Amino acid sequence: MDRRENLKLLLTGTVATGFLLSTGCSPEDTKVAEKITGTGLYGRTTDEIAVDKKLKAETFFNEKEKNMVSILADIIIPKDETSGSATESGVPDFIEFMMKDYPKFQLPMRGGLMWLENLSLATFEKSFLEITAEQRIQLIDKIAYPDTAEEEMKFGVKFFNLMRNLTCTGFFTSQMGIKDIGYVGNRPNQWDGVPDEVLKKFNLSYDQKTLDQCLKIEDQQKLAQWDEKGNLIG
Amino acid sequence: MSFQIKEQDKKYDVCIVGSGAGGGMAAKILSEAGLSVAVLEAGGDFDPAKEEYRTQLKWPWESPRRGANTQRSFGDFDAAWGGWDIDGEPYTRKDGTKFDWFRSRMLGGRTNHWGRISLRFGPKDFKRKDQDGLGDNWPISYEDVKPYYDKVDKLIGVFGTNEGLANDPDGFFLPPPKPRLHELFVKKGAAKASVPVIPSRLSILTRKINSDRGVCFFCAQCNRACQVYADFSSGTCLVKPAMQKGKVELYTHAMVREVITDNEGLATGVLYIDKKDLKEYRIGAKVVVLAASACETARIMLNSKSKAHPNGLSNSSGVVGRYLHDSTGTDRMAFMPELVDRPRYNEDGVGGLHVYSPWWLDNKKLDFPRGYHIEYWGGMGMPSYGFGFGMDTMRKYLLDEFGKPTANGGYGAELKKDIRRIYGTMVGMSGRGESIPQYDNYCEIDPDTVDKFGIPVLRFHYKWTQHEVRQAKHMHDTFEEILTGMGAVLLGEKPGENTQHGLAAPGRIIHEVGTSRMGDDPKTSALNKYAQAHDCKNLFIVDAGSFVSQADKNPTWTILALSWRTSEYIIDQLKKQNI
């Protein structure tokens, strides 16, 4: 794939990944686009590939911990009318990876899960995995609201904040989550300003000076030329 | 057509150490004059058009860490190989002071991931001592550099607008992109605070300037390096084209230890360690050009001791490593209630800000010298690691249907909904300003430490003065005024005296300059006004080491212009057989 081909693909908008591979391109184009995007790598150096491989080969969570993480993740981000749940988007695997990638997470996460398990045993005389969904919510409600949680729940609050952060970020950086949030960039585009209806909604507009001096999208491929004073003349 | 080679004792007309902005420009200009050139780069080859290197247009889920910065300092997709800490290549600090040193070990160096903010220094910036009595004047003026800025604008391409400002000179600009939504709000807030906002000046091709480079397709990812070369990187825009046209040979993984000199003290070449076989090699040259970055160049000079240069190469003045200074910097973030539930559209734009504020005040009415510019950020960017964090403190800013603040934290479908609502509501600003160079802010050779190649490393000593601290305080006052004026709710506490008003540690803005400054007096400067070493006439420095003072601008455009100017001087001096 040389740069020119690459450029052509970009400008015609056929380079895309996943759900973006769509209309208007020949099977050949699609094949080329898949070649560009489908390597499974993302510009890693040899050292980085080795690091990722090593981390992926290790296991941090034991079976019980993994189950707890999955249950908590789906309490934090459940399925709704717009998208699936945290586990459906791959959040537990992401959290497992982050434990190894950023070892400072390990103690608060492992200790937090144990703390929650102890709370479950103390409250219901049963493991967190064995109590009912309602009982789990009873426990979570004690640690989910930092501003009003009781003093002795503080460690649990800290743990749940970590769990919430990792779950939310894991979900909204997944394919499912990006679609959910409505991010429509990361593709060749022609930025020509804020859409009119949006400007109107916020009671804003581009002044004439801005419109005059800013890029006219249709001129992009025209070779730029200046007079000796620096005025753009072509 | 040239290719990478590895040979012992090869001889060239010119040996350039470093392939960033300064080294790349020198390679281009010198090779176009017919000179044979060796470019030594301490890192690997890099070309963002090659699939094996590409991070542009990748999705967060393609990274197992979703773009987190555990491996690369600015995240998994950022085009910088290296960072604040490089395994086996340490640096140290002295007397409890702080300095952080960012290095990119790759073809093109730090030009691969930089913000592309391409500002000329203005007439006042070269003569600051005349205005406030602090620091020193440059031995050259804006008029000396202007022709080169003009040429750089046309060769590399930069968008912006001619505004006729006294100290932010006009140039040859491509048209800027239209402001984004939050940038229109910024303009409103700034107008109330009487702060000017103009189109930013970034070296990104909004229009075509030649047939070798593509135009911007608005993915907002310049920090990932562009596969169609629509932004400026030294590797793609200078070094590789020079290799295709001229006698340029690139040595990658070549870690230069010292410049070799003869009995008269003239440079005869360089000595480097090949990082791959860990063997020592020499390259001979009539002219040696250092462009390894201000601090790395100082390190090479200080490590190049000989009978003729007992104090380090061309350091009879003792200023090599001294007057090290970085831009000042501090930031503030805020939440825009008006943008909650905002409509979705592709807002990526170019990689970085579409508008900025150049310095606008008169220091006579202020309690600090020199100025700063403001960079603005915000918008509906691509979610990456960290997106969705902080709902334990942020959720209260979202009002429920009865206008009551939501409880912080929580879980479930309502939390999920609130993250959608809050998406694209954050705005922020960063001040980047000019500090006063100090003799006592320096890097030197640490007598106790070597890197894994056996090369003595740098030890830093750096303290901000009240000048910079007061400037940071002023930045925060301004930020609050603008943010409040645009209807934003300030987040976090305003940093106070205990944190030097949020002033970033020196080095963090990655604009370090001044370690081999130029001047007319060989007793107080290392280089003459052409960046030629006072004590070694065939040694030149084309990185930001030559800067006498760093303006309230980013240094790259000035590095490029000065490197071009020095390269022409080298060609002239070779013709006249002066070197």
Q: What is the structure's pLDDT at A40?
A: 63
Q: Which two tokens stand for residue B308?
A: 């003729």
What does the buried/exposed string (b/e) look like for A11-44 if buried means 16 or more CB atoms within 10 Å of the residue's CB? bebbbbbeebbeeebeeebeebbeebbeeebbbb
Q: pLDDT band for position A34 (50/70/90)? A: very low
Q: Do A194 and B178 touch (CB under 8 A)?
A: yes
Contact B433, B467 (CB under 8 A): no
Q: What is the structure's pLDDT at A94?
A: 98
- Spatial neighbors of B133 by CB under 8 A, at least 6 apart, are none
Q: Is A180 on the interface with B (CB under 8 A)?
A: yes
| B220 contacts on A by Cβ (under 8 Å) | 185
Q: Is A226 on the interface with B (CB under 8 A)?
A: yes
In eight-state DSSP terms, residue A233 is: -
DSSP code per residue over B346-409: ----SSS-SEEE-----GGGSSSSS-EEEEEEESSPPP-TTTTTTHHHHGGGSB-TTSPBPPSS
Contact B441, B463 (CB under 8 A): yes
Q: Do A232 and B175 touch (CB under 8 A)?
A: yes
- Nearest CB to A75 within list B79, B350, B412: B412
Cα–Cα nearest to B486, from B178, B197, B187: B187
User: From the CA of B108, how many Å to the nearest CA of chain A?
Assistant: 16
User: Which phi and psi (to 5°) does residue B161 adopt?
Assistant: -140, 145
Cα–Cα nearest to B328, from B148, B462, B144: B462
Q: For A167-219, write each residue's pLDDT tens digit.
A: 999 999 999 999 999 999 999 999 999 999 999 999 999 999 999 999 999 99
- Spatial neighbors of B255 by CB under 8 A, at least 6 apart, are B42, B272, B273, B274, B275, B453, B455
- Nearest CB to A222 within list B208, B350, B415: B208
**Separation of alpha carbons B329 and B549, rounded Å:** 16
User: From the CA of B382, how many Å to the nearest CA of chain A?
Assistant: 6
Higher pLDDT, A233 or B1: A233
Q: Is A105 on the interface with B (CB under 8 A)?
A: no
Q: Is A225 on the interface with B (CB under 8 A)?
A: no
**Separation of alpha carbons A117 and A129, rounded Å:** 9
Q: Is A150 on the interface with B (CB under 8 A)?
A: no
Q: Do A224 and B383 touch (CB under 8 A)?
A: no
Q: Do A181 and B220 touch (CB under 8 A)?
A: no
DSSP code per residue over B179-239: P-HHHHHHHHHHHHTT---EE--B-B-SSB-SSSS------S-GGG--TT--B--HIIIII
**Separation of alpha carbons B112 and B128, rounded Å:** 31
**Separation of alpha carbons B418 and B230, rounded Å:** 37
Inform me whether the pLDDT recorded for A39 exceeds 60.
Answer: no
User: From the CA of B210, how many Å to the nearest CA of chain A?
Assistant: 7
Q: By three-state DSSP, how is residue B13 classified?
A: strand
Region of residue B105 (left: phi > 0; alpha: psi -120 to 50; beta: else): beta
Q: Over chain B (579 residues), what is each successive 10-residue block's mean pLDDT?
A: 54 98 98 98 97 96 96 96 96 97 98 98 98 98 98 98 98 98 98 98 98 97 98 98 96 98 97 96 97 98 97 98 98 98 97 97 97 97 97 95 94 98 97 98 98 98 98 98 97 96 98 98 98 98 98 98 98 97
Q: What is the structure's pLDDT at A9?
A: 40
**Separation of alpha carbons B139 and A129, rounded Å:** 74
- List C-alpha distances in Å: B167 to B26, B67, B192, B470: 27, 39, 23, 22
> Which ipTM was obtained for this model?
0.94
Inform me whether the pLDDT recorded for A38 exceeds 70.
Answer: no
Q: What is the structure's pLDDT at B400?
A: 86
- Nearest CB to A177 within list B79, B172, B383: B383
**Separation of alpha carbons A143 and A128, rounded Å:** 14
Contact B234, B109 (CB under 8 A): yes
Q: What is the structure's pLDDT at A13?
A: 35
Contact B517, B128 (CB under 8 A): no
For the whole model, what pTM was predicted?
0.94
Cα–Cα nearest to B358, from B512, B547, B553, B194: B553
Highest mean pLDDT among A10-19, A41-50, A145-154: A145-154
Listed as own residue / partner, the contacts of B275-280 with beta carbons closer than 8 Å and 24 or more positions apart are B275/B42, B275/B453, B278/B453
Q: For A66-87, write each residue's pLDDT tens digit.
A: 999 999 999 999 999 999 999 9
Inform me whether the pLDDT recorded for A31 exceeds 80.
Answer: no
User: From the CA of A122, how many Å to the nearest CA of chain B?
Assistant: 23
In eight-state DSSP terms, residue B513 is: B
**Separation of alpha carbons B165 and B173, rounded Å:** 15
Q: What is the structure's pLDDT at A28?
A: 53
Q: What is the structure's pLDDT at A8?
A: 42
pLDDT, mean over chain A: 88
Contact A183, A189 (CB under 8 A): no
